[in-house]
Structure 1
Amino acid sequence: MIDVPFDYGYAVIDRSGAVRVQYGDVGRVFPLASVTKLITALGVHVAIQRELMSYDQAAGPPQATIAHVLAHASGLAPEGDGTQTAARVGARRIYSNQGYEVLGHEIEAATGCSAPQWLRREVSEPLGMASVEVNGSPAHCGQGNVADLSILAQEFLDPQLLDSTTAQAMHTPAFPDLVGILPGYGRQDPNLWGLGPEIRGNKTDHWTPPTVSAQTFGHFGQSGSFVWADPMSGLAGVFLGEEPFGPWHKKNWPTLPLE
Protein backbone atom coordinates (compact mmCIF):
# COMPACT_ATOMS: atom_id res chain seq x y z
CA MET A 1 0.00 0.00 0.00
CA ILE A 2 1.00 3.59 -0.50
CA ASP A 3 0.59 5.95 2.46
CA VAL A 4 -2.57 7.96 1.77
CA PRO A 5 -4.35 9.36 4.86
CA PHE A 6 -7.87 9.19 3.38
CA ASP A 7 -10.01 6.89 1.23
CA TYR A 8 -8.87 6.87 -2.38
CA GLY A 9 -8.30 4.83 -5.53
CA TYR A 10 -5.24 4.95 -7.81
CA ALA A 11 -4.26 3.09 -10.95
CA VAL A 12 -1.71 3.22 -13.75
CA ILE A 13 -2.56 1.50 -17.01
CA ASP A 14 -0.81 1.03 -20.33
CA ARG A 15 -2.03 1.55 -23.87
CA SER A 16 -3.63 -1.90 -23.98
CA GLY A 17 -5.59 -1.21 -20.79
CA ALA A 18 -3.46 -3.57 -18.71
CA VAL A 19 -3.15 -2.44 -15.09
CA ARG A 20 0.45 -1.68 -14.10
CA VAL A 21 -0.30 -0.28 -10.62
CA GLN A 22 -3.44 -0.40 -8.50
CA TYR A 23 -4.00 0.79 -4.96
CA GLY A 24 -6.98 1.73 -2.84
CA ASP A 25 -10.63 1.25 -3.74
CA VAL A 26 -10.88 1.48 -7.53
CA GLY A 27 -14.61 0.70 -7.45
CA ARG A 28 -15.70 3.50 -5.14
CA VAL A 29 -17.42 6.43 -6.82
CA PHE A 30 -15.89 9.83 -6.05
CA PRO A 31 -16.67 13.35 -7.33
CA LEU A 32 -14.53 14.32 -10.31
CA ALA A 33 -14.72 18.13 -10.01
CA SER A 34 -12.88 19.59 -13.01
CA VAL A 35 -11.82 16.20 -14.38
CA THR A 36 -15.40 16.40 -15.68
CA LYS A 37 -14.06 18.80 -18.33
CA LEU A 38 -12.20 15.93 -20.01
CA ILE A 39 -15.49 14.08 -20.48
CA THR A 40 -17.20 17.22 -21.76
CA ALA A 41 -14.35 17.97 -24.15
CA LEU A 42 -14.47 14.42 -25.47
CA GLY A 43 -18.22 14.80 -26.03
CA VAL A 44 -17.63 18.04 -27.97
CA HIS A 45 -15.03 16.32 -30.16
CA VAL A 46 -17.45 13.49 -30.88
CA ALA A 47 -20.01 16.08 -32.03
CA ILE A 48 -17.38 17.84 -34.15
CA GLN A 49 -16.34 14.56 -35.76
CA ARG A 50 -19.99 13.99 -36.70
CA GLU A 51 -20.16 17.50 -38.17
CA LEU A 52 -22.77 18.63 -35.66
CA MET A 53 -20.38 21.29 -34.37
CA SER A 54 -17.13 22.83 -35.61
CA TYR A 55 -14.00 24.25 -34.01
CA ASP A 56 -14.52 27.63 -35.66
CA GLN A 57 -18.20 28.14 -34.88
CA ALA A 58 -19.03 31.08 -32.63
CA ALA A 59 -19.30 30.39 -28.90
CA GLY A 60 -18.99 32.61 -25.86
CA PRO A 61 -18.06 36.29 -26.29
CA PRO A 62 -17.95 38.00 -29.71
CA GLN A 63 -15.17 36.66 -31.98
CA ALA A 64 -14.61 33.59 -29.77
CA THR A 65 -15.07 30.06 -31.11
CA ILE A 66 -15.59 26.55 -29.80
CA ALA A 67 -11.81 26.08 -30.06
CA HIS A 68 -11.15 29.17 -27.92
CA VAL A 69 -13.60 27.97 -25.26
CA LEU A 70 -12.22 24.40 -25.20
CA ALA A 71 -8.70 25.79 -24.68
CA HIS A 72 -9.61 28.45 -22.08
CA ALA A 73 -8.59 31.16 -24.56
CA SER A 74 -11.99 32.82 -25.08
CA GLY A 75 -11.46 35.59 -22.52
CA LEU A 76 -14.36 34.33 -20.41
CA ALA A 77 -13.88 34.89 -16.69
CA PRO A 78 -13.54 31.87 -14.39
CA GLU A 79 -17.19 32.04 -13.30
CA GLY A 80 -20.31 33.65 -14.69
CA ASP A 81 -23.44 33.17 -16.75
CA GLY A 82 -21.69 32.82 -20.10
CA THR A 83 -21.13 36.52 -20.76
CA GLN A 84 -18.58 37.71 -18.15
CA THR A 85 -15.16 38.34 -19.69
CA ALA A 86 -11.79 39.06 -18.11
CA ALA A 87 -9.61 39.51 -21.22
CA ARG A 88 -9.73 39.88 -24.98
CA VAL A 89 -10.32 36.72 -27.00
CA GLY A 90 -7.01 34.92 -27.47
CA ALA A 91 -5.04 37.27 -25.19
CA ARG A 92 -4.53 35.08 -22.10
CA ARG A 93 -5.25 31.60 -20.83
CA ILE A 94 -8.01 32.11 -18.27
CA TYR A 95 -9.19 28.86 -16.74
CA SER A 96 -12.97 29.05 -16.95
CA ASN A 97 -15.75 26.91 -15.52
CA GLN A 98 -18.07 29.39 -17.21
CA GLY A 99 -16.57 28.40 -20.56
CA TYR A 100 -17.40 24.73 -20.13
CA GLU A 101 -20.95 25.61 -19.16
CA VAL A 102 -21.12 27.53 -22.46
CA LEU A 103 -19.97 24.32 -24.16
CA GLY A 104 -22.82 22.47 -22.46
CA HIS A 105 -25.29 24.90 -24.03
CA GLU A 106 -23.58 24.50 -27.41
CA ILE A 107 -23.90 20.70 -27.14
CA GLU A 108 -27.61 21.05 -26.47
CA ALA A 109 -28.13 23.44 -29.38
CA ALA A 110 -26.20 21.20 -31.79
CA THR A 111 -27.50 17.78 -30.75
CA GLY A 112 -30.93 18.34 -29.24
CA CYS A 113 -29.74 16.55 -26.10
CA SER A 114 -28.84 18.07 -22.77
CA ALA A 115 -25.12 17.91 -22.08
CA PRO A 116 -25.57 15.14 -19.45
CA GLN A 117 -27.67 13.09 -21.89
CA TRP A 118 -25.16 13.52 -24.71
CA LEU A 119 -22.17 12.68 -22.53
CA ARG A 120 -23.87 9.57 -21.18
CA ARG A 121 -25.01 8.37 -24.60
CA GLU A 122 -21.92 9.24 -26.63
CA VAL A 123 -19.06 8.92 -24.11
CA SER A 124 -19.88 6.92 -20.97
CA GLU A 125 -22.04 4.22 -22.55
CA PRO A 126 -19.90 3.49 -25.65
CA LEU A 127 -16.78 3.22 -23.49
CA GLY A 128 -18.54 1.06 -20.90
CA MET A 129 -18.00 3.53 -18.04
CA ALA A 130 -21.07 2.59 -16.01
CA SER A 131 -20.16 4.66 -12.96
CA VAL A 132 -19.36 7.85 -14.89
CA GLU A 133 -22.17 10.41 -14.83
CA VAL A 134 -22.32 14.16 -15.36
CA ASN A 135 -25.38 15.29 -13.45
CA GLY A 136 -25.25 19.06 -13.55
CA SER A 137 -22.54 21.43 -14.74
CA PRO A 138 -20.39 20.01 -17.55
CA ALA A 139 -17.52 21.92 -15.95
CA HIS A 140 -17.39 20.15 -12.60
CA CYS A 141 -20.35 17.92 -11.69
CA GLY A 142 -19.09 14.53 -12.84
CA GLN A 143 -18.62 11.43 -10.73
CA GLY A 144 -17.09 8.01 -11.32
CA ASN A 145 -14.66 5.40 -10.07
CA VAL A 146 -11.02 4.70 -10.89
CA ALA A 147 -11.81 1.51 -12.81
CA ASP A 148 -14.01 3.43 -15.25
CA LEU A 149 -11.82 6.53 -15.42
CA SER A 150 -9.01 4.16 -16.42
CA ILE A 151 -11.09 3.35 -19.51
CA LEU A 152 -11.21 7.07 -20.27
CA ALA A 153 -7.44 7.26 -19.83
CA GLN A 154 -6.98 4.33 -22.22
CA GLU A 155 -9.22 6.12 -24.72
CA PHE A 156 -6.74 8.99 -24.69
CA LEU A 157 -3.86 6.58 -25.39
CA ASP A 158 -5.67 4.40 -27.94
CA PRO A 159 -8.69 6.32 -29.30
CA GLN A 160 -11.82 4.40 -30.22
CA LEU A 161 -14.45 7.16 -30.19
CA LEU A 162 -12.35 9.60 -32.20
CA ASP A 163 -10.44 9.20 -35.44
CA SER A 164 -6.71 9.86 -35.29
CA THR A 165 -6.96 13.42 -36.64
CA THR A 166 -9.61 14.52 -34.14
CA ALA A 167 -7.88 12.76 -31.25
CA GLN A 168 -4.58 14.47 -32.11
CA ALA A 169 -6.29 17.86 -32.27
CA MET A 170 -7.62 17.35 -28.76
CA HIS A 171 -4.15 17.16 -27.18
CA THR A 172 -2.08 19.33 -29.52
CA PRO A 173 -1.20 22.73 -27.99
CA ALA A 174 -3.84 25.28 -28.97
CA PHE A 175 -2.96 29.01 -28.99
CA PRO A 176 0.40 27.80 -27.63
CA ASP A 177 1.99 31.14 -26.69
CA LEU A 178 -0.60 32.14 -24.11
CA VAL A 179 0.42 32.90 -20.54
CA GLY A 180 -1.96 32.04 -17.73
CA ILE A 181 -2.50 30.79 -14.21
CA LEU A 182 -2.65 27.05 -13.63
CA PRO A 183 -4.97 26.76 -10.60
CA GLY A 184 -3.00 25.65 -7.55
CA TYR A 185 0.37 26.10 -9.30
CA GLY A 186 0.58 29.75 -10.30
CA ARG A 187 1.65 31.60 -13.43
CA GLN A 188 2.85 29.51 -16.36
CA ASP A 189 4.63 30.94 -19.41
CA PRO A 190 3.45 29.45 -21.61
CA ASN A 191 0.44 27.77 -20.05
CA LEU A 192 0.00 25.00 -22.59
CA TRP A 193 -3.46 23.62 -23.17
CA GLY A 194 -5.04 21.51 -25.87
CA LEU A 195 -8.66 21.57 -27.02
CA GLY A 196 -9.78 20.24 -23.65
CA PRO A 197 -6.83 18.84 -21.67
CA GLU A 198 -3.96 20.66 -20.03
CA ILE A 199 -0.56 19.81 -21.52
CA ARG A 200 2.49 19.43 -19.31
CA GLY A 201 5.07 20.98 -21.62
CA ASN A 202 8.03 22.45 -19.73
CA LYS A 203 6.16 23.12 -16.47
CA THR A 204 8.40 22.14 -13.56
CA ASP A 205 6.04 22.60 -10.60
CA HIS A 206 3.29 20.27 -11.73
CA TRP A 207 0.82 17.62 -10.58
CA THR A 208 2.05 14.90 -12.96
CA PRO A 209 5.13 12.71 -12.30
CA PRO A 210 8.45 14.36 -13.23
CA THR A 211 9.37 11.38 -15.44
CA VAL A 212 6.48 11.73 -17.89
CA SER A 213 7.01 13.38 -21.26
CA ALA A 214 6.27 16.98 -22.19
CA GLN A 215 3.43 15.64 -24.37
CA THR A 216 1.56 14.33 -21.31
CA PHE A 217 -1.96 15.71 -21.10
CA GLY A 218 -4.93 15.48 -18.76
CA HIS A 219 -6.67 17.34 -15.98
CA PHE A 220 -6.89 17.51 -12.23
CA GLY A 221 -9.81 18.56 -10.07
CA GLN A 222 -10.32 20.35 -6.78
CA SER A 223 -11.98 17.21 -5.40
CA GLY A 224 -8.49 15.68 -5.32
CA SER A 225 -8.79 13.89 -8.66
CA PHE A 226 -6.67 13.50 -11.77
CA VAL A 227 -6.41 11.74 -15.11
CA TRP A 228 -3.23 12.01 -17.18
CA ALA A 229 -2.04 10.19 -20.30
CA ASP A 230 1.50 10.11 -21.71
CA PRO A 231 1.43 9.23 -25.43
CA MET A 232 5.21 8.75 -25.46
CA SER A 233 5.47 6.10 -22.71
CA GLY A 234 2.01 4.70 -23.35
CA LEU A 235 1.12 5.00 -19.66
CA ALA A 236 -1.80 6.78 -18.00
CA GLY A 237 -2.68 7.49 -14.38
CA VAL A 238 -5.93 8.01 -12.48
CA PHE A 239 -6.39 9.16 -8.89
CA LEU A 240 -9.66 9.84 -7.04
CA GLY A 241 -10.17 10.44 -3.35
CA GLU A 242 -12.34 11.92 -0.63
CA GLU A 243 -9.89 14.68 0.37
CA PRO A 244 -10.14 17.99 -1.54
CA PHE A 245 -7.01 19.12 -3.38
CA GLY A 246 -4.46 20.62 -1.02
CA PRO A 247 -0.88 20.35 0.29
CA TRP A 248 -0.92 16.53 0.47
CA HIS A 249 -1.75 16.27 -3.23
CA LYS A 250 0.85 18.82 -4.33
CA LYS A 251 3.54 16.99 -2.37
CA ASN A 252 2.61 13.39 -3.09
CA TRP A 253 0.92 13.17 -6.50
CA PRO A 254 4.21 13.48 -8.43
CA THR A 255 5.77 10.68 -6.35
CA LEU A 256 3.05 8.04 -6.81
CA PRO A 257 4.51 4.80 -8.21
CA LEU A 258 4.27 4.12 -11.93
CA GLU A 259 5.35 0.46 -11.81
Structure 2
Amino acid sequence: MTGSSDSFANALAQLDDWPVETVAAAVVGPAGVLATHGSIDTQVPLASVTKPLAALAVLVAVEEEAVTLDDPAEENLLPGATLRHLLAHASGVAPERPLRSFGPAQRRVYSNVGIEFAARLVERATGMPFADYLAGAVLDPLGMRGTYLDGSPARDAVSRASDLARVLAELLTSTGLLAPETRADLATVQYPGLRGVLPGYGGQPHNDWGLGFEIRADKSPHWTGATNSPRTFGHFGQSGTMLWLDPDASLGLVALTDRAFGEWAIEAWPRLSDAVLAAAR
Protein backbone atom coordinates (compact mmCIF):
# COMPACT_ATOMS: atom_id res chain seq x y z
CA MET A 1 0.00 0.00 0.00
CA THR A 2 1.52 3.31 -1.10
CA GLY A 3 -1.40 5.74 -1.12
CA SER A 4 -1.11 9.16 0.54
CA SER A 5 -3.57 10.69 2.99
CA ASP A 6 -4.52 13.19 0.28
CA SER A 7 -5.30 10.45 -2.24
CA PHE A 8 -7.53 8.67 0.26
CA ALA A 9 -9.21 11.95 1.21
CA ASN A 10 -9.92 12.60 -2.47
CA ALA A 11 -11.48 9.14 -2.80
CA LEU A 12 -13.71 9.78 0.21
CA ALA A 13 -14.85 13.13 -1.19
CA GLN A 14 -17.44 11.32 -3.30
CA LEU A 15 -19.43 10.79 -0.10
CA ASP A 16 -20.58 14.39 -0.44
CA ASP A 17 -22.65 13.28 -3.44
CA TRP A 18 -24.39 10.43 -1.63
CA PRO A 19 -28.17 10.93 -1.16
CA VAL A 20 -27.92 10.91 2.63
CA GLU A 21 -28.09 13.55 5.34
CA THR A 22 -25.41 12.08 7.59
CA VAL A 23 -22.36 10.15 6.45
CA ALA A 24 -19.03 9.26 7.99
CA ALA A 25 -16.18 7.15 6.70
CA ALA A 26 -12.65 6.12 7.57
CA VAL A 27 -9.86 4.36 5.69
CA VAL A 28 -7.58 2.24 7.85
CA GLY A 29 -4.16 0.75 7.17
CA PRO A 30 -1.63 -1.18 9.25
CA ALA A 31 -0.42 2.05 10.86
CA GLY A 32 -3.95 3.19 11.78
CA VAL A 33 -6.45 5.64 10.32
CA LEU A 34 -5.26 7.04 6.98
CA ALA A 35 -8.16 9.38 6.17
CA THR A 36 -11.64 10.26 7.41
CA HIS A 37 -14.64 12.09 6.05
CA GLY A 38 -17.75 13.44 7.68
CA SER A 39 -19.04 13.09 11.21
CA ILE A 40 -16.92 10.18 12.40
CA ASP A 41 -18.05 10.59 16.03
CA THR A 42 -21.76 10.63 15.23
CA GLN A 43 -23.53 7.54 16.55
CA VAL A 44 -25.82 5.60 14.20
CA PRO A 45 -27.67 2.26 14.38
CA LEU A 46 -25.49 -0.44 12.83
CA ALA A 47 -28.19 -3.00 11.96
CA SER A 48 -26.34 -6.13 10.82
CA VAL A 49 -22.88 -4.61 11.22
CA THR A 50 -23.65 -5.57 14.83
CA LYS A 51 -22.95 -9.21 13.89
CA PRO A 52 -19.16 -8.98 13.48
CA LEU A 53 -18.90 -7.17 16.83
CA ALA A 54 -20.93 -9.94 18.46
CA ALA A 55 -18.76 -12.55 16.76
CA LEU A 56 -15.60 -10.96 18.12
CA ALA A 57 -17.04 -11.17 21.63
CA VAL A 58 -17.99 -14.82 21.12
CA LEU A 59 -14.45 -15.57 19.92
CA VAL A 60 -13.01 -13.88 23.01
CA ALA A 61 -15.24 -16.20 25.04
CA VAL A 62 -13.78 -19.13 23.09
CA GLU A 63 -10.24 -18.02 23.89
CA GLU A 64 -11.20 -17.58 27.54
CA GLU A 65 -12.49 -21.19 27.43
CA ALA A 66 -15.99 -20.19 28.50
CA VAL A 67 -17.31 -21.89 25.35
CA THR A 68 -15.87 -23.84 22.43
CA LEU A 69 -16.71 -23.67 18.76
CA ASP A 70 -17.72 -27.33 19.01
CA ASP A 71 -20.38 -26.68 21.65
CA PRO A 72 -23.87 -27.78 20.56
CA ALA A 73 -25.84 -24.90 19.08
CA GLU A 74 -29.32 -25.89 20.25
CA GLU A 75 -29.49 -29.67 20.46
CA ASN A 76 -33.27 -30.07 20.47
CA LEU A 77 -33.86 -27.73 17.53
CA LEU A 78 -30.62 -28.09 15.56
CA PRO A 79 -29.19 -31.58 16.18
CA GLY A 80 -25.56 -31.77 15.13
CA ALA A 81 -25.08 -28.02 14.74
CA THR A 82 -22.39 -26.25 16.76
CA LEU A 83 -21.40 -22.75 17.77
CA ARG A 84 -19.14 -22.68 14.71
CA HIS A 85 -22.13 -23.41 12.50
CA LEU A 86 -24.07 -20.56 14.14
CA LEU A 87 -21.35 -17.98 13.55
CA ALA A 88 -20.97 -19.14 9.93
CA HIS A 89 -24.72 -19.09 9.17
CA ALA A 90 -24.50 -22.81 8.48
CA SER A 91 -26.55 -24.23 11.35
CA GLY A 92 -29.73 -24.54 9.28
CA VAL A 93 -31.80 -22.33 11.57
CA ALA A 94 -34.30 -20.07 9.80
CA PRO A 95 -33.53 -16.35 9.34
CA GLU A 96 -35.97 -14.79 11.81
CA ARG A 97 -37.66 -17.62 13.72
CA PRO A 98 -36.33 -20.52 15.81
CA LEU A 99 -37.18 -23.09 13.16
CA ARG A 100 -34.95 -25.71 11.53
CA SER A 101 -34.84 -25.15 7.76
CA PHE A 102 -31.82 -27.36 6.84
CA GLY A 103 -29.39 -29.73 8.46
CA PRO A 104 -25.97 -28.42 9.55
CA ALA A 105 -23.67 -27.32 6.71
CA GLN A 106 -26.25 -28.08 4.02
CA ARG A 107 -27.06 -24.50 3.06
CA ARG A 108 -25.91 -20.99 4.02
CA VAL A 109 -29.00 -19.52 5.68
CA TYR A 110 -28.29 -15.97 6.84
CA SER A 111 -29.92 -15.94 10.26
CA ASN A 112 -30.41 -13.34 12.96
CA VAL A 113 -31.65 -16.14 15.19
CA GLY A 114 -28.38 -18.02 14.75
CA ILE A 115 -26.33 -15.11 16.05
CA GLU A 116 -28.76 -14.70 18.94
CA PHE A 117 -28.31 -18.40 19.79
CA ALA A 118 -24.52 -17.91 19.74
CA ALA A 119 -24.78 -14.98 22.14
CA ARG A 120 -27.07 -17.00 24.40
CA LEU A 121 -24.43 -19.72 24.69
CA VAL A 122 -21.98 -17.10 25.96
CA GLU A 123 -24.55 -15.74 28.39
CA ARG A 124 -25.18 -19.19 29.83
CA ALA A 125 -21.48 -19.96 30.15
CA THR A 126 -20.48 -16.65 31.73
CA GLY A 127 -23.60 -15.74 33.67
CA MET A 128 -23.46 -12.26 32.12
CA PRO A 129 -25.87 -10.41 29.83
CA PHE A 130 -24.31 -10.49 26.38
CA ALA A 131 -24.27 -6.69 26.11
CA ASP A 132 -22.10 -6.56 29.24
CA TYR A 133 -19.83 -9.31 27.97
CA LEU A 134 -19.44 -7.52 24.63
CA ALA A 135 -18.48 -4.33 26.43
CA GLY A 136 -15.89 -6.03 28.62
CA ALA A 137 -14.48 -8.32 25.94
CA VAL A 138 -14.35 -6.00 22.91
CA LEU A 139 -15.63 -2.45 23.34
CA ASP A 140 -13.64 -1.46 26.42
CA PRO A 141 -10.32 -3.06 25.34
CA LEU A 142 -10.52 -1.30 21.96
CA GLY A 143 -11.58 2.04 23.44
CA MET A 144 -14.93 2.02 21.62
CA ARG A 145 -16.57 4.50 23.96
CA GLY A 146 -19.33 5.45 21.51
CA THR A 147 -20.57 1.90 20.94
CA TYR A 148 -23.18 -0.09 22.83
CA LEU A 149 -25.62 -2.95 22.34
CA ASP A 150 -29.27 -2.36 23.20
CA GLY A 151 -31.20 -5.42 22.10
CA SER A 152 -30.40 -8.22 19.66
CA PRO A 153 -26.71 -9.14 19.18
CA ALA A 154 -27.60 -9.64 15.53
CA ARG A 155 -28.73 -6.10 14.75
CA ASP A 156 -29.12 -3.67 17.65
CA ALA A 157 -25.73 -2.08 18.25
CA VAL A 158 -25.13 1.65 17.95
CA SER A 159 -21.67 2.89 17.01
CA ARG A 160 -19.66 5.49 15.14
CA ALA A 161 -17.07 5.41 12.38
CA SER A 162 -14.22 6.34 14.72
CA ASP A 163 -14.97 3.26 16.85
CA LEU A 164 -15.34 0.85 13.95
CA ALA A 165 -12.03 2.10 12.57
CA ARG A 166 -10.53 0.70 15.79
CA VAL A 167 -11.99 -2.71 14.95
CA LEU A 168 -10.42 -2.63 11.48
CA ALA A 169 -7.09 -1.52 12.95
CA GLU A 170 -7.21 -4.39 15.45
CA LEU A 171 -7.84 -6.89 12.67
CA LEU A 172 -4.99 -5.45 10.60
CA THR A 173 -2.42 -4.99 13.36
CA SER A 174 -3.57 -6.74 16.50
CA THR A 175 -2.96 -5.48 20.01
CA GLY A 176 -3.81 -8.94 21.28
CA LEU A 177 -7.60 -8.97 21.44
CA LEU A 178 -7.54 -12.35 19.69
CA ALA A 179 -4.78 -14.83 18.96
CA PRO A 180 -3.42 -14.85 15.40
CA GLU A 181 -4.94 -18.29 14.81
CA THR A 182 -8.40 -17.04 15.80
CA ARG A 183 -8.09 -13.94 13.59
CA ALA A 184 -7.16 -16.18 10.67
CA ASP A 185 -10.07 -18.51 11.39
CA LEU A 186 -12.68 -15.73 11.45
CA ALA A 187 -11.58 -14.62 7.98
CA THR A 188 -11.44 -18.16 6.54
CA VAL A 189 -14.35 -19.71 4.68
CA GLN A 190 -16.26 -22.07 6.95
CA TYR A 191 -17.94 -25.03 5.28
CA PRO A 192 -16.90 -24.11 1.71
CA GLY A 193 -19.22 -24.52 -1.25
CA LEU A 194 -22.53 -23.75 0.44
CA ARG A 195 -25.23 -22.10 -1.65
CA GLY A 196 -27.35 -19.38 -0.15
CA VAL A 197 -28.93 -15.97 -0.47
CA LEU A 198 -26.89 -12.84 0.22
CA PRO A 199 -29.49 -10.34 1.49
CA GLY A 200 -30.05 -7.60 -1.05
CA TYR A 201 -28.04 -9.40 -3.73
CA GLY A 202 -29.83 -12.68 -4.33
CA GLY A 203 -28.73 -16.28 -4.61
CA GLN A 204 -25.04 -17.11 -4.67
CA PRO A 205 -23.60 -20.49 -5.68
CA HIS A 206 -20.82 -19.97 -3.13
CA ASN A 207 -22.24 -17.86 -0.33
CA ASP A 208 -18.98 -17.91 1.61
CA TRP A 209 -18.80 -16.84 5.24
CA GLY A 210 -16.22 -16.83 7.98
CA LEU A 211 -17.01 -16.58 11.69
CA GLY A 212 -19.40 -13.64 11.91
CA PHE A 213 -17.85 -11.98 8.86
CA GLU A 214 -18.96 -12.34 5.24
CA ILE A 215 -16.20 -13.26 2.78
CA ARG A 216 -16.38 -11.77 -0.71
CA ALA A 217 -14.97 -14.77 -2.62
CA ASP A 218 -16.56 -14.95 -6.11
CA LYS A 219 -19.95 -13.44 -5.23
CA SER A 220 -21.57 -11.39 -7.97
CA PRO A 221 -23.12 -8.91 -7.64
CA HIS A 222 -21.57 -7.70 -4.41
CA TRP A 223 -21.49 -4.63 -2.20
CA THR A 224 -17.68 -4.31 -2.22
CA GLY A 225 -15.74 -3.11 -5.25
CA ALA A 226 -14.79 -4.94 -8.42
CA THR A 227 -11.15 -4.57 -7.35
CA ASN A 228 -11.59 -5.95 -3.85
CA SER A 229 -9.77 -9.24 -3.52
CA PRO A 230 -11.74 -12.47 -3.01
CA ARG A 231 -10.28 -12.60 0.52
CA THR A 232 -12.03 -9.36 1.51
CA PHE A 233 -14.21 -9.85 4.57
CA GLY A 234 -16.66 -7.60 6.39
CA HIS A 235 -20.37 -6.89 6.70
CA PHE A 236 -23.09 -4.45 5.74
CA GLY A 237 -26.29 -3.44 7.47
CA GLN A 238 -29.76 -2.52 6.32
CA SER A 239 -29.43 0.83 8.11
CA GLY A 240 -26.94 1.95 5.44
CA THR A 241 -23.73 0.83 7.14
CA MET A 242 -20.78 -1.19 5.92
CA LEU A 243 -17.21 -2.10 6.66
CA TRP A 244 -14.66 -4.31 4.97
CA LEU A 245 -11.04 -5.35 5.29
CA ASP A 246 -9.01 -6.46 2.27
CA PRO A 247 -6.00 -8.50 3.47
CA ASP A 248 -4.34 -8.39 0.05
CA ALA A 249 -4.35 -4.58 0.09
CA SER A 250 -3.77 -4.31 3.88
CA LEU A 251 -6.62 -1.82 3.86
CA GLY A 252 -9.96 -1.38 5.59
CA LEU A 253 -12.95 0.87 4.99
CA VAL A 254 -15.96 1.79 7.13
CA ALA A 255 -18.84 3.96 5.91
CA LEU A 256 -21.91 4.78 8.00
CA THR A 257 -25.03 6.67 6.96
CA ASP A 258 -28.51 7.49 8.20
CA ARG A 259 -30.31 6.12 5.13
CA ALA A 260 -31.57 2.56 4.79
CA PHE A 261 -29.80 0.25 2.34
CA GLY A 262 -31.23 0.39 -1.17
CA GLU A 263 -30.37 1.05 -4.80
CA TRP A 264 -28.33 4.08 -3.80
CA ALA A 265 -25.98 1.87 -1.74
CA ILE A 266 -25.81 -0.83 -4.40
CA GLU A 267 -24.40 1.84 -6.72
CA ALA A 268 -22.38 3.92 -4.26
CA TRP A 269 -20.59 1.36 -2.10
CA PRO A 270 -18.68 -0.49 -4.85
CA ARG A 271 -17.71 2.83 -6.44
CA LEU A 272 -16.32 4.09 -3.15
CA SER A 273 -14.52 0.81 -2.49
CA ASP A 274 -12.82 0.86 -5.88
CA ALA A 275 -11.80 4.50 -5.43
CA VAL A 276 -10.24 3.77 -2.05
CA LEU A 277 -8.33 0.79 -3.42
CA ALA A 278 -7.18 2.85 -6.42
CA ALA A 279 -5.91 5.52 -4.06
CA ALA A 280 -3.74 2.93 -2.36
CA ARG A 281 -1.86 2.11 -5.55
Structure-2-length-normalised TM-score: 0.89
Matched residue, 2:8: none
Matched residue, 2:106: 91
Q: Secondary structure at the match of 1:9?
A: strand
Q: Secondary structure at the match of 1:138?
A: coil
1:104–1:114: 8 Å Cα contact kept in structure 2? no
Matched residue, 2:47: 33
Q: Which has the larger radius of gyration?
A: 2
Within a 5 Å distance, the mapping from 1:188-227 to structure 2 comes to 188-227=204-243
1:75 matched to 2:92? The reply is yes
Q: Secondary structure at the match of 1:18?
A: strand
Deviation per CA, 1:97-121: give whole Å up to 9, x if none. Answer: 0011111211101111111000011
Q: Cα RMSD (Å) of the superposition?
A: 1.0
Q: Which segments of 5 or more consecutive residues in structure 2 lack a partner in the other structure?
A: 1-12
Matched residue, 1:140: 155
Counterpart residue identity of residue 79, structure 1: E
Give the counterpart of 1:172 among 178, 183, 188. Answer: 188
2: CA distance, partners of 1:150 / 1:209: 19
1:70–1:196: 8 Å Cα contact kept in structure 2? yes
1:171–1:199: 8 Å Cα contact kept in structure 2? yes
1:108 matched to 2:141? The reply is no
2: CA distance, partners of 1:127 / 1:137: 21
2: CA distance, partners of 1:107 / 1:212: 33
**Length, aligned pairs only:** 256
- Larger relative helix fraction: 2
1: CA distance, partners of 2:33 / 2:240: 24
Q: Which segments of 5 or more consecutive residues in structure 1 lack a partner in the other structure?
A: none
Counterpart residue identity of residue 233, structure 1: A
Matched residue, 2:29: 14
Q: Secondary structure at the match of 1:101?
A: helix
2:33–2:165: 8 Å Cα contact kept in structure 1? no
2: CA distance, partners of 1:135 / 1:180: 29
Q: Percent identity?
A: 42
1:224–1:240: 8 Å Cα contact kept in structure 2? yes
Structure-1-length-normalised TM-score: 0.96
Deviation per CA, 1:69-127: give whole Å up to 9, x if none. Answer: 000000000012xx311112211000000011111211101111111000011100000
After TM superposition, the runs of 4+ consecutive aligned structure 1 residues lying more than 4 A away are none
Cα offset, 1:43, TM superposition = 0.4
Cα offset, 1:13, TM superposition = 1.1
